Amino acid sequence: MVSVKTQGNNIICTLEGVLSGTTPLDIPSVLRNKKIQLVGSNIESWNTDFVVLLFNALKHFPKDNISYSQLPQGMEQLLRLAFQTPPQEKEISRAKLPFLERVGEVGINFFHCVKKGCTFIRECLVSWGRQLCGSAVYRSKDFWMILADCGPQSILIVSLISFMVGLILAFVGAIQLKTFGAQIYVASLVTIGMTRIMGAIMTGVIMAGRTGASYAATIGTMQVNEELDALQTMGISRTDFLVLPRMNALLLSMPILILLADFMGILGGCFVCVLFWDIPLSEYIKYTTNSFYLNNFLVGVFHGIVFGLIIAWCGCYFGVHCGRNADSVGAATTKAVVYSIVWMIVTTGILTVICQWLGV
């Protein structure tokens, strides 16, 4: 039961008996300028529903105008906590630094990022060395599960995309070569383009979006759940246990996927040439065979191996250095995909210049 009495500029609210969420309570908000005193008298029982009801009735009153007398300790603590206004966060206005200091700060941050990345790559290479010596700690069943995920389960998407890329190359090439009456050389164009670079690039982009993001999300979630801390506490190397099997799985699966991508791209070009440009199948096969060079194929496979390392390093790096909330996992996944693709493009340019210099 709740009784409300007004004495001058004060309101006395007496609480007694059984108090619950169904207890009648009516305190007009027009009295908000008055001081109110909550007095407990022979309270037999109460629950949090009543505290919520009381808070809603008094939330229009300034907290300094509310006083408590003879209330149960738990009820008074809940009410004080409910009326406590959270402190406002003050925006820290950062003074604008001079130009040279800003340049220096950017340079220092860049240096720390490069140092962290190089340290991670060094740890991966050291972990590889431990594997060659037979002292790396990881479970073989984890490796086979990861290999199944980034290998056989990627066949369908790699085949589809590579087929479409070969189809597009054949369409674009045939339109241009038709001007010179040389449509037959579309087979050579598709074969050289797919085996030398396009098969590797498309496979790398697909695996970056599929497998690299998966690596970052998986390891990032383990970071949020403090599983990485548990591994460190048990004295198990995170690089051995998490990064090493993922690197090995991508290094094994990328050459096979690139071989599949090359074949499907050539098949896509054949589909266009035979059905749309009336090129005999035997002629397409002949020009494809004559244009297939082992050097081009090995260059594409080497690109794929390098891309596999980049995808594994980027995905695992951003997973290991992920924050400890769900938003950080999403950010780590995004960064893993973006950085993988960017570094693949940069590496392609570098390798192309090297191959041109070596005459490969």
**Is 340 a domain residue?**
yes
Among the listed residues 316, 76, 89, 286, the one whose alpha carbon sits nearest the alpha carbon of residue 211: 316
Sign of CA dihedral 181, 186, 192, 198: positive
Same domain, 135 and 44: no
Helices (DSSP H) in 67-98: which residue ranges? 73-83
Is the same domain home to 149 and 293? yes
Same domain, 319 and 239: yes
Q: Tell me the pairing of strands 10-19 and 35-46.
A: parallel
Of 83, 102, 131, the one marking the end of a domain is 83
Contact (Cβ atoms closer than 8 angstroms) between residue 130 and residue 232: no
Both structure tokens of 227: 């599983």
Q: Are residues 136 and 14 in the same domain?
A: no
Query: Average pLDDT per run of 10 along the chain, which is 360 residues long?
Result: 71 76 65 72 76 76 74 77 63 69 88 90 89 83 88 90 90 82 83 90 91 91 87 84 90 92 91 84 88 89 92 91 85 92 92 87
What pLDDT sits at residue 333? 92
- Structural domains counted in the chain: 2
pLDDT digits (tens, 9 = 90+) for 3-50: 777 776 777 777 777 777 676 666 665 566 677 777 777 777 777 777
For residue 168, give the 3-state DSSP assignment. Answer: helix
The answer to the question of residue 41 being in a domain is: yes
Asked whether residue 211 is domain-assigned, the answer is: yes
Same domain as 185, residue 64: no
Q: Are residues 229 and 308 in the same domain?
A: yes
Same-domain pairing of 228 and 133: yes
Is residue 77 assigned to a domain?
yes
- 89 burial via Cβ count (<10 Å: 0-12, 13-18, 19+): exposed
Residues 131 and 262 in one domain: yes
Q: Is residue 97 assigned to a domain? A: no
Provide the pLDDT for residue 274: 84
pLDDT at 311: 93
Q: Please check whether residues 45 and 185 belong to one and the same domain.
A: no
159 and 261 both lie in a single domain: yes
Please report whether residue 107 resides in a domain: no
- What separation, in Å, do the N-terminal and C-terminal C-alpha atoms of the chain show? 93
CATH of the domain at 78: 3.30.750.24
Locate the DSSP E strands across the chain. Answer: 2-7, 10-19, 35-46, 66-69
> Within a domain: residue 38?
yes
The answer as to whether 45 is a domain residue is yes
Of the candidates 168, 188, 175, 190, the one whose C-alpha atom is nearest the C-alpha of residue 277 is 175
Please report, to the nearest 10 degrees, the dihedral formed by the alpha carbons of residues 184, 190, 193, 198 taken in order.
Answer: 160
CB atoms within 10 A of CB 9: 10
Domain that holds residue 28: 2-83
Residues 198 and 262 in one domain: yes
Same domain (yes/no): 301, 201: yes
The pLDDT value recorded for residue 283 is 86
Distance CA 185, CA 299 (A): 22
Q: Is 249 exposed, middle or buried (0-12, 13-18, 19+ CB in 10 A)?
A: buried
pLDDT of residue 31: 62
Percent of the chain with pLDDT over 90: 26
